[in-house]
Structure formats: C-alpha cells, structure tokens
A and B are shown apart, each in its own frame.
Chain A
Amino acid sequence: MDLMFLTGLLASGVRFAIPLLFAALGETIGQKSGVLNVGLEGIMLVGAFLAVAFSVATGSPWGGLLAAILGGAALGLLHGLFAVRLKVDQIVSGLALILLGLGLSGFGYRLVFAGQPSMRVPGFDRLDLGVLSDLPLLGPLLFSHHALAYLGILLAVGLWWIMTRTGLGLTIRAVGENPKAADSAGIDVDKVRMLCTIFGGAMAGIGGAYLSTAQLAGFVEDMVAGRGFIAIACVVFARWNPLGVLAVALIFGIADAAQIRLQPFFPQVPYQFFVTLPYVLALVALAGAARSSNLPAALTQPYRKS
C-alpha cells in the first residue's frame, strides 16, 4: 500500500468519523447524566432529512443544520419526557424513537420531494485553508475538511473540560452516579437529565445533518444504516470520556473507510463481509469494555424521590 492510499484512507476515515463523533459526544453527556438513548439512529435519520429539506428551502446548508439541531433537540425532549419525567423504561422509549425516526424521515422525504428525482442540495464545502490545504499528504489529511469536523474536535475537548473541571460537569456526573446524593445537595435531578437528553438529541441531529449535507449530498431512506448504534458503542468503548470518544470515533471511521477501499482488492470475497467489519469491531469493543467501572452507576435507572 502506498502513501497516497494511506492518506486517502485516513482522510476519508476522518470524514466517516464526524457523524459518529457528534452523536457519540451527545450520548456521552446523556449517559453521564444517567439516561441511555438507544434511539440515536432515529434522531440521526430525522436530522439527515431535515438538513436536506431546509438546505434546499433556505438555500444554505447552515439553515439545514439549524433545522437538524432543532429537530434532534425536539426528539431528545420527547425521549426525556418519557424516560425522565414519566419514568418509562429507557430502552422502550429509545426503541420507539428509532421507529418514529424511520417513519418521520421516510414519510417527510416522500411528502417534500415527491416526484423530484434529482435536485441539487446545497451542501457544506470543504474549508479551503489556502497553502495549508495544498500541502502534500498533510493537506488532505488535516486541512481540507468541512467546518463541522473542526467544530466536532473542539467540542470533544470542550466537553472533556466541562465534565472534569467545572461545577456543571460535577452536577451531571453526580446525577448519573448517585441521583440521591445530587438530590440531597439541592440539585433537580430530572431537570439536569432532561437538559442532557435534549443536548444529546441535538448532537445526534448534527450527526445526521453531516451525513446528508457534507458526507453525501442528499437523503436516502435509512441512510444512517446503523451508525446510531455504532455511536453508542463508541461511548462505551471510550469509557464515557469525550476525548476517548474522539479517538474511538476516528478508529471506527477509519475502519469504515477501510472496508470500502479494500473491497475492490478482493473481488472474490463477497462485499457483505467488508460491510460487517465496523459492526464486528463494535461487538468486540463492547464485549471488552462493557464491564468498565466507569459505567455511570445510575444509568437507565429512573429517579424517584425516597
């Protein structure tokens, strides 16, 4: 394998990693507060659809992004209402979100774009950093991504700082580890969880928007294709550490890029074999990390006063 192949692989690995990164960062915060959202898949689908619809409507990918954030936050709010306020089983509520997301995005797509076989979606352009982007090898690898990619990396660092160094992080961790302790310290457990869940939804919305307006240009039904679940695996594999999430999302992104790029080299192997690669990686990661002691102690447990 030559150097060109390698940089190409890594650069597209980064691109594949970004949607995972956003969704997984949001999920990390949600889980840190004690709320598991298995419905990321559904939220990402809605985000992907809204981003396309509103990019077309407003003529700018940023308009689409905003719509995806709002839509994701709304679904996060819905999950919070059921799982946090009404104490419905978090898995059940999350599964409902997946189905809802599938239905909403598919239906919405047909409603809005019926009979418009090919339309131009105003997508995100890669950032042009002039000389830097033209550098051989390093240019494509580091300096030619979408603005969202750099935002995601900044977010990972920022969230890590918030979770470990600030009073806000302390509050979120307490709520996910021992809600009773948080409650007795005067913290409104359900409110913190609601806000974290809404944040998680908004982040998954961004992940979906990236898929449909930066990575690809357009919406296809079920285009998230399991990335919502991989994002959850990222959170566990990264042991609930936002910086870890950055690293793990990159690993998964590169694995995804590799499976696509390796396919032509082995025409005799059925392509489905390659497609399963990231999922196998996720399984292995989960089996290894599931018993981690970093698991928020009150994850999936609704909080009821005394």
Chain B
Amino acid sequence: MMQTNHAAHTTVPVLELAHLSKSYGEVRAVAGLSLSLNPGEVVALLGENGAGKSTVVNMITGMTRPNSGQIRVRGKEVLIASPRDALDRGIGVVHQHYALVGDFTVAETLALGRAGPGRLNRQALHAEVRRVAERIGMQIEAGALIGSLDVAGQQRVEILKALSREVGLLVLDEPTAVLSPEDVARLFDVVRALRADGVAILMVTHRLADVFAVCDRAAVMHSGQLVCDLPVMDVTSEGLISAMISGSTDTVQESERMPGDVMPARQAAPANDAPTRVSVRDLALRRANGSQAVQGLSFDIRAGEIMALAGVDGNGQSELVQCLAGVNLPDGGTAEICNCSSDGPWSPRVLRHAGVAHVPDDRRRQAIISDLSLGANMILSHVFSRRYGRAMLDWSRARDDTSRAIDEYDIRTTGPDQPIGRLSGGNQQKLVLARELLAGPKVILAAHPSRGLDIRTIGAVQNILRQQRDAGAAILLVSADLDEIRALADRVVVLAAGGAFGPVDMAQTDTAQIGAWMAGHT
C-alpha cells in the first residue's frame, strides 16, 4: 500500500523536475523550472494567478506534456503520458475539481478500477477503507454515499483514492480553499501522518497560513519561473508575498504594495433608515436531490451593508444564492429583492432587471462558457439590460468594456478575443467579477468571490466590494474564509448542520465563535 521507506531512500528524491518548460502558443506558462521533492517532504507551490502552478501540476500528473525538460521519479527519467501513468509511478493527485460518482459509497469509490469484474465483497472493501483511513488518522464512514458528504468529506475520499494505491508523491491543488478552519486542521493532520510515512507532498495554495502550518519548503513561481525555493524556516510572509508579486525576495517597494494591504476605514455604518434591499422570511429550500437544504431562514440586507453567509459548502449556501438569483423558487417562505417578490414573477431576468448581480460559486458550470471569448463572456450577464444592443450586438462596446476590465483587474490574457477557457482559474474569476460589477448593481450576490485568487487580487476584490457597499449596494457574501468575513462583513449568518445561526453584528461576535458555528457547535 503506502510507502513506508524512511531513512533508506531519503537521499533519492521522489520527484525531480529539471528545466521543465511548457508554452501554449505565445504564452510561456512554465519556463525552465527545476524542483525536487524528497520523501517525507511537504512543499508549498505558491504564485499569483497565472504564474503557472496548475501547469506544473498537470505536467507531473500526466494531464499535459512538457515541451522540454525532464521529469525523474526516484532518480529514473520518465515520460508521464496519462493520469493513469502517473498513478502507476506512484504519483497521486487531488484536483481542485473532484472526480467522484455521487451515488457510489466511499467503499465503492475506492473499489472502482481495482476490484475484479465479479461479486464485490463489501465487508472486505469496508475493512480496507477503514484500514487506510485509520493509518493516517482520518475519519470516514465506508458506507456513506458520496453525494451525502460535504466538500471536506469528498476531499477525504479523493485523498483515500490516491492513497489506496502505492503512492510516493501526493499532489494537492488548492486543498484548503473550500474547507472550514476545523477541516483545514484535520487535513493538516492527515498531511503530517503522510509525511511521517515518507510520502512527499506538493501543495498548491494561495494561503500563506498553510505554508507556515504544515510545509517544510516554500517554492514560489512568478511568470512561469521558480523565483524562490527555501525552507519555511528561512522565509517570512513579506518575503513570500514580494517573491510572488515582483519575482524577487527583496523587500516590497511601497509603490508595489497590494491594494488590499491598506484596509480603508469603514466610511459610515449603514444608516438605520437605509432601505432594505433583500428580505428573506422563513425561507425553506430543497437540494436538487429533494433533501432539505435550508429551513426557517430569515434575514434582511439593507443598502450599503455586507451580510456574510458563512459556512462550509453543502449547507444550503448555493441553494440560497440560486434562489435569490431567481434560478429557483423557494420551497417555503418568501424572498424579496428590490420590490420583486418570490410570490410574484421570479426569474433571473426579472431580478437582473431589478439590479441584482450574481457571482456563482461554480464558475465553470454557471459563470462562464469556456469556448467563447472574454468579450462574449462579458456580454452574457447583460443580455437583458441590452447594454450591448438588441438584435445586433455592439461588439466594439463589449470589447472596450473587456479591455478596461483586463486593465483594471490585471487579467493575464492575450486580449478580449481569447477563449476564456485558456485563462488560469483565478483570471477567469476576475473577468466574472468585472462583468457582474460593471453596471453598478443594487444587490450583489457574491459566492466565494475570492476563491482561487492570489493575495494581491483578493485585496483588490475586497476593495471593490467595499466601494460597491459605500456606493449603496446591498451585498450577500458567501464565504468559508474567516479572514475575508472579518475584513468585509457588517453582519453574519452561519449555515451549518442543517440549521442557521444569526444574523449577528460582527461587532458582537468574533471569528472563533463564527468558526464554532460553522463546525455546527452552538
């Protein structure tokens, strides 16, 4: 099963990348990168959006092939042709987007592709799951249906899946982005157990806290190159940030500081007589599979206020946002937004007309069309408002808007005509934000607006949300990130374990309390 060679092999790196390069047309995604990982070493791979991190991961795991350079596994040069190939060489990966079958049990998921065609021995399968899970101190129920697990649970299944074969290197792509603080701690326990077992781990992340919590080394990429590769003991957050932004570990120049660094003071608390823009009463919502997602939820959001909807994914947040965006009708209770009521006409069209902007959490499925250009994706949200005309689309205006967004949000792209699917995840997200905030919305439904964004961009996005708030927008901020909630929210509602806590004023609570609610403790 798992690799348990400690001292014997410590001198031979599990994985060595030598002068690896990959270009997509004109874009040099990775340029001459060299990196090596020893057994039992946890390495953080950091970098701004579009720096090339995912491209490195894709080359290691056989999703794409390098243009030049070598990959050596345990000292032997190899060509990794497919994900299957990578697995056979002991390289497991947990992608950002999990590949799981919803109506399989955990045990069935692990059996897939490994069990023979004959009768499944459920008892043996369950025992196997328990054995692998126990070994790394992971808690999971072998008979649980994948579809009934939250993201943290599904992530655990992905990790188990990788570990159920002989794995010397585990690659984790932004594993903490979707987790609650408690689940992050649990994940790190697993990482430590694996490290003790001699498994090398490469962890892509945007969160510096992750680096200092579990990593042994920090590797920073900038524009496709490795600009810093140091033991964590020898780095500081400032050094890492400056390496990410400017490509050098020297102190950051004042002029290069991130816009998010300076948190502007709250202009003014929303006046008590500010109009209520969003009003939710006794709301009940169902999931697509019919189960109850939210029950008896009530809150108001006034103009000029940011309400955080905290909680780990899967507790009804996406159902609520879908409902408020007009995609679904409530199962019980009512929702009102800017004089529209869910008892009356209620559709995305009606609500967009009323001034609702929607940043969905599932970017690839709900926010963008990968094959279309940035400009075309810009138009998508503004079809009903006819910003770009009626029958004949005003492409030049769309291109202008897109070009402006590219400058303002620092989107790394070849231009408004590039298909958006070619952009890195973070850069896609920036375009979605730019599009939604373009027309000065009255209500902003922002589901994880900064998920997958680098630190600098997060700062910029948070500033933009503050500006929108000060301009009078009512904002619903769905987030699992306590720092973000603390930085932005005026009030907070927590959805967890089938119930709702709050709303409470941020002034009357602290992040520890919110974290506890998110974990379902009262």
Contact of B114 among A168, A185, A297, A305 (CB under 8 A): A185
Known contacts A184-B83, A186-B87, A306-B63, A167 near B99 by CB under 8 Å: no
> Which residues of A in the span 253-306 have a Cβ within 8 Å of any Cβ on B?
293, 297, 305-306
Say which residue of A167, A178, A180, A182 sits within 8 Å of B111 (CB atoms): A167
Interface residue range, chain A: 20 to 34
Q: How far is the CA of A178 from the CA of B100 in the complex (A)?
A: 7
CA distance A266 to B113 in the complex (A): 58
**A180 partner residues in chain B, CB cutoff 8 A:** 99
Find chain B residues with CB under 8 A from A181 CB.
99-101, 109, 112
Number of A-B contacts (CB under 8 A): 69
B120 within 8 A of partner (CB)? yes
Chain B residue contacts of A178, Cβ below 8 A? 99-102
* A289 shortest CB reach to chain B, Å: 15
Main secondary structure of the interface of A (DSSP, over half): helix
Q: Which of B64, B83, B84, B117 contacts A166 (CB 8 A)?
A: B117
Contact A167 B117 (CB under 8 A): yes
Chain B residues within 8 Å of A297, by CB: 102
Cβ-defined partner of B117 (8 Å) among A171, A174, A182, A185? A171
Q: Kindly identify which residue among A167, A182, A185 contacts B116, using a CB–CB cutoff of 8 Å.
A: A167
The DSSP consensus for interface residues of chain B is loop
B115 sits at the interface (CB 8 A)? yes
Which residues of A are found within 8 Å of B99, using beta-carbon distances? 178, 180-181, 183-184
Tell whether, in the assembled complex, residue B112 and residue A182 are in contact, meaning their CB atoms are under 8 Å apart: yes
Residues of chain B within 8 A of A166, CB atoms compared: 117-120
Q: What is the minimal beta-carbon distance from B22 to any residue of chain A, in angstroms?
A: 14
B21 nearest CB across to chain A (Å): 20
- Complex Cα distance, B100 from A173, in Å, reads 12
CB distance from A108 to the nearest CB of B (A): 37
Using CB atoms, name the residue of chain B closest to A178: B101
Measured between beta carbons, the chain A residues less than 8 angstroms from B100 are 178, 181
| Complex contact B108–A170 (CB within 8 A) | yes
A187 proximal to B (CB < 8 A) = yes
Residue contact A167 to B120, C-beta cutoff 8 Å? yes
**A190 contacts B by Cβ under 8 Å:** no
- Judge if A177 is at the interface, Cβ distance under 8 Å: yes
B392 at the interface (CB under 8 A from A): no
When C-beta atoms are compared, the residue in chain B nearest to A188 turns out to be B84
- Taking a contact as CB atoms under 8 Å apart, the answer to whether B117 and A168 are in contact is yes
B7 contacts the other chain (CB 8 A): no
Pick the most buried of A168, A178, A181, A183: most chain B CB atoms within 10 A of its CB: A181
Q: Does A120 contact B (CB under 8 A)?
A: no
Complex-state Cα separation, A306 to B99, whole angstroms:
12
* List of A residues within 8 angstroms of B83 by Cβ: 183-184
Chain A residue at minimal CB-CB distance from B93: A184
Interface pair A186/B84, CB less than 8 Å apart: yes
Contact with A along B65-94 (1 / 0, CB 8 A): 000000000000000001110010000000
Task: Give the complex CA separation of A250 and B491 in angstroms.
Answer: 60
Give per-residue flags for B41-71: 1 if the beta carbon is below 8 A from chain A beta carbons, else 0.
0000000000000000000000110000000
Chain B residues whose CB sits within 8 angstroms of the CB of A170 once the complex forms:
104, 108, 111-112, 115, 120
A293 with B116: CB separation less than 8 A? no
Q: How far is the CA of A295 from the CA of B340 in the complex (A)?
A: 35
Kindly supply a per-residue 1/0 record for chain A positions 154-171, scoring 1 wherever the CB is within 8 Å of any chain B CB and 0 otherwise.
000000000001111011
Indicate which residue in B64, B82, B113 contacts A185 across the interface (CB closer than 8 Å).
B113
Query: What residue in chain A is nearest B83 (Cβ atoms)?
Result: A184
| A187 to chain B: closest residue by CB | B113
Q: A183-B83, A186-B113 are in contact. Are A177 and B120 (CB under 8 A)?
A: no
User: Measured between C-beta atoms, what is the minimum distance from B2 to chain A in Å?
Assistant: 18
Please tell me which one of the listed residues A168, A173, A306 contacts residue B101 in the complex, with CB atoms under 8 A apart. A173
A29 to chain B, nearest CB (A): 14
Contacts of B64 in A (CB 8 A): 306
B103 located at the interface, meaning its Cβ lies under 8 Å from any Cβ of chain A in the complex: yes
Minimum Cβ distance to chain A for residue B122 (Å): 9
Q: In the complex where A170-B120, A177-B103 touch, is A293 in contact with B115 (Cβ < 8 A)?
A: no
CB neighbours (8 Å) of B288 from chain A are: 293
Q: CA of A138 to CA of B87 in the docked complex: distance in angstroms? A: 58
Q: How far is the CB of A181 from chain B (nearest CB, A)?
A: 4
CA distance A301 to B108 in the complex (A): 23
> How far is the CB of B115 from the nearest CB of chain A, in Å?
4
Q: B289 an interface residue at 8 Å Cβ cutoff?
A: yes
Q: Is the CB of B101 within 8 A of A167?
A: no
- Within B401-434, which residues are at the interface with A (CB < 8 Å)? none
Distance in angstroms from A294 CB to nearest chain B CB is 8
The digit string for B155-173, where 1 denotes a CB below 8 A from any CB of A, is 0000001000000000000
CB distance from B55 to the nearest CB of A (A): 13
B101 touches A177 (CB 8 A): yes
> Which of chain A's residues has its CB closest to B95's CB?
A184
A305 to B102, CA, bound (A): 20
By Cβ-Cβ distance, the 5 closest A-B pairs, closest first, are A185-B113, A167-B115, A168-B117, A181-B99, A180-B99
25 contacts between A and B (CB under 8 A): A165-B119, A166-B117, A166-B119, A167-B111, A167-B115, A167-B117, A167-B118, A168-B118, A170-B108, A170-B111, A170-B115, A173-B101, A173-B103, A177-B101, A181-B99, A181-B100, A181-B112, A182-B113, A183-B84, A184-B87, A185-B112, A185-B113, A186-B87, A186-B113, A305-B82
Q: A165-B119, A167-B117, A177-B101 known; 13 other A-B pairs, CB under 8 Å?
A: A167-B120, A170-B120, A173-B103, A177-B102, A178-B100, A181-B99, A181-B100, A182-B113, A183-B99, A184-B87, A185-B112, A185-B113, A306-B64
